Amino acid sequence: MGHKILETLVDKTVLVTGAGGSIATVLCKRLVQYPIRKLKMLNVSETAIYNLKRMFQKHNVPDSRLEFILGNVTDEELLREHLPCTDIVIHTAAHKHVPLCEENIVQAVLNNVVGTKNLIGMANRFGVEKFIFVSTDKAVKPSSVMGMTKRVGELMTLYKAGNMWASIVRFGNVKGSSGSVIPLWMEQIQAGKAITLTHKDCTRFMMSIDEACELILVALSYKDQGLYVFDMGEPVKMVDLANELMQELGIGVPIEITGLRPGEKIHEELTYGGVLDPTSHTRIKKVYEGADSMCRLSMLDTLTHAAASRNKERTLAALKEMTR
C-alpha cells in the first residue's frame, strides 16, 4: 500500500487546511517523509502555524519544501492565491467542538460550510487533482450543529466537485486529539477530581491519530473516489474507557454523570445504513449511501446567505432542512 501512496504524492504540492491541529500535525510530519514538491500548511491560528514552523526547523526540513500560510478558508482571495499551483488539498480545517458550535451557529456555518464551499469551488476552478474532505461520524443522522455542517460538507464534496477527484474520510472519535475526552479525563484523574461523563450508556467509535492519518493517505491513493471509513470494531462504552484510564494511572476517582450536552447523542453511527465494500486495505471500507440527499444542496445558497447576514434562526432552520 505504501507504494500507492508514494505514487500519488511524488513531486506534488499538497495543501493541508487546519494544519497544526492534532491530526493535521501528525499528517504533515508524515507527508514530508514522501518526495512531495512542497507542503503548504494553512491555519487561522498564528500559534498553530508558529508551532509547526518550529517543529520542522527541529527536524531540519528544508524551507524550500514548506510554506506556512496564516489565514482562513473563508478568505477567497487567499485561496485564489494558493490553489493555482496546488495538486492535492486535504481539508481538515473545521470548528469541531460540539457545544461551542451549538453556541456559535453562524460562525460554525461560515467556517465549516462556507469555507468548504469556497475551497471546493476554487480547487475545482484551478485544476487541483485530488481533494479529501475530513468528516466525522457526527455527520450521520446529525443532531448537532457541528455534525450538520459536516454533513453539508460531505454533500458538497460528493456533488459539487465537478471533474475534480474528491473523496470523504469519515472519522470516529480520535484519541488524543485536541478537545477529545481522554486528555480531559487524564487531567481530572491526576488532579483527584471526579471524571465527568455525559451518560452512563454513552458509546463512541474510537481510533488513534495514526489510524486517522492512515485513512487519509490510503484513501488519497485510491483511483476510485467516494466515502471511506476505517474499521474501528465495536463502539467503546465510555464508562469502561474511564475505568481503564483509572486502572492505567493507578488512581481511583468517582465518575460523575453530567447529562448529555446540547447536540450530543448517546450513540454515534458510522453510516446511514449503506453498503460497505472492502478495499485493498484490510481495515478501510468504501461506503455507498445513495444519492437521495443531493437535492438538498438546492438550499445551499439559502444557508450561506442566512449565515452571511448573521441570522441565527434562519441559519439553523436551513441547516436542519438540508440535513434532515
pLDDT at 144 over 60: yes
Per-residue pLDDT tens digits for 219-263: 999 999 999 999 999 999 999 999 999 999 999 999 999 999 999
pLDDT in tens, 26-38: 999 999 999 999 9
User: Is the pLDDT score of 265 beyond 80?
Assistant: yes
Cα–Cα nearest to 14, from 76, 65, 54: 65
For residue 133, the 8-state DSSP code is E
Displacement of CA 284 from its chain's centroid (Å): 17
Tens digits of residue pLDDT in 270-309: 999 888 999 999 999 999 987 666 678 999 999 999 999 9
What does the mean pLDDT of the chain come to?
95
Mean pLDDT of 193-211: 97
Catalytic site residues?
138
Q: Is the predicted pLDDT of residue 56 greater than 80, yes or no?
A: yes
| Domain positions in the chain | 2-323
Residue from 36, 37, 28 nearest 216 by CA: 28
**The predicted structure's pLDDT at residue 293:** 66
Q: What is the mean pLDDT of residues 37-66?
A: 97
What pairing do the DSSP bridges indicate for beta strands 255-257 and 275-278?
unpaired
Average pLDDT over residues 161-175: 96
**Alpha carbon distance 180, 174 (integer Å):** 7
Q: Which amino acid is at 132?
A: I
- Give mean pLDDT, residues 73-102: 97
pLDDT confidence bin for 1, thresholds 50/70/90: low
- DSSP 3-state of 235: coil
Q: How far is it, in rounded angstroms, from Cα 194 to Cα 282?
A: 39
pLDDT attached to residue 2 = 82
CATH class of 2-323: alpha beta
